[in-house]
Amino acid sequence: MTKLIIFEVKISNLSNVIVKINSMKTALLQAKRIVVKVGRSLVTNQGEGLDIAAISNWAQQIATLRGHGCEVVLVSSGAIAEGMQRLGWKQRPSAVHELQAAAAVGQMGLVQVYESCFSKHSLRAAQVLLTHADLADRERYLNARSTLRTLLTLGVIPIINENDTVVTDEIKFGDNDTLGALVTNLIEADALIILTDQIGLYSADPRKDSSAKLISEALAAMRSSKKWPVVQAATSVAAA
């Protein structure tokens, strides 16, 4: 059983997140490998194409963390939003095949922007697209883990997203928060930091439920089966 701490924080300065974490959990003073998840609202212009300035800012701050000796894996949304802009679509389509097409087009732009931004800090980036099937199959799971560990050893920043072009609702991770948690388990990272436009973890969606309460801290654990890494009900979450 691997214990970890997941932080869900509303923050615009990632380079300060380690300071915030250190003040909350002494155990993370030794954190050397972290997974950072950034949602669509933090990398796009209100869902309409990529916010290059914001992504450049994230790249600069991740470079700062790398300078402190942290290995960083980035789980990033934004492909569909970028694809919609490139295709000239004003409204998000509902048809799965159209969303998949937008993701395919948008991945090109997403990777190009990250590559350009990280190169300014003499860092290389790599694109890794995963599906539920990749992690459900033992051999593919081990291959993904080996690849990610090798990239980190080489000093490369892996940029991970779900491979939307080949998945359907039945085989999706659900959201990139789930993907981030599974990747954290996959590479045995010390922490998962979820950057969000909300102030933390709630008992329910505060945008839909006015009675939702902010959860300050919750213990969690993750375990791996032979075929599938399982995030248990008692998930390890601490909100800043």
Q: What is the CATH number of domain 5-239?
A: 3.40.1160.10
Would you state the pLDDT for residue 222? 47
Would you state the pLDDT for residue 29? 63
1 or 206: whose pLDDT is higher?
206
Would you state the pLDDT for residue 63? 94
pLDDT mean over 205-221: 73
Would you state the pLDDT for residue 226? 42
Per domain, the residue ranges of the chain are 5-239
When pLDDT is cut at 50, 70 and 90, the band that residue 94 belongs to is: confident
Would you state the pLDDT for residue 224? 45
116 or 226: whose pLDDT is higher?
116
3-class secondary structure, 26: helix
CA nearest neighbour of 80 among 129, 47, 38: 47
pLDDT mean over 128-132: 90
DSSP H or E stretch at residue 118: helix 96-119
Would you state the pLDDT for residue 136? 86
pLDDT mean over 53-60: 93
When pLDDT is cut at 50, 70 and 90, the band that residue 225 belongs to is: very low
**Alpha carbon distance 208, 110 (integer Å):** 30
Output the pTM of the full model: 0.77
The percent of residues above 70 in pLDDT, for the chain, comes to 73
47 or 123: whose pLDDT is higher?
123
Would you state the pLDDT for residue 220? 53
Average pLDDT of the chain? 79
Highest-pLDDT range among 40-44, 48-52, 92-96, 183-187:
183-187
pLDDT mean over 127-143: 91
165 or 149: whose pLDDT is higher?
149
Whether 73 and 187 have beta carbons less than 8 Å apart is answered as: yes
Q: What are the contacts of 223-227 at 24+ separation with CB within 8 A?
A: 223/1, 223/2, 224/2, 224/185, 226/138, 227/136, 227/137, 227/138, 227/141
Whether 21 and 240 have beta carbons less than 8 Å apart is answered as: yes
pLDDT mean over 132-161: 94
